[in-house]
Amino acid sequence: MPLKHTRGCLFSKRCCLGGGGGKRGCEVLIVVKPLLLLYIGVRNKYCHACATGKKSDHICYRNWNASSSEMETDIILEGFLEAERVHGVRYTEFIGGW
């Protein structure tokens, strides 16, 4: 049975349109009916403690070294793979757009 779902994203600076360079990105995959959060993924290119040299005993959330414009695609792909592993949902078709 097909599931109606949507996705949403949040970036500190839009990666693909406004010149790029975003340091943080978040993407979510949500099933609309019934309302279910399938996946949330976060990418960070920046850690304040590391950038300022205050590296002593901190939790570093930097987990992305590639270009900012690749964040959204990578999170969506990871979400699709996790949906199958965790929820048993396999995507057979993806229709996207801006």
Query: Following DSSP, what letter does each residue of 82-94 receive, concatenated?
Result: HIIIII-------
DSSP H helices in the chain: 48-51, 71-82
Q: Cα(39)–Cα(41) distance, rounded to whole angstroms?
A: 7
* Residue 8 DSSP SS3: strand
Convert the pLDDT of each residue in 15-33 to its tens digit. Answer: 444 455 678 777 777 776 7
Q: What is the pLDDT of residue 56?
A: 78
pLDDT at position 63 is: 92
CA pair distance 25, 83, nearest whole angstrom: 19
Residue 5 to residue 35: CA distance in whole angstroms: 9
Residue-wise pLDDT tens digits, 59-75: 888 999 998 888 888 98
Provide the whole-model pTM: 0.70
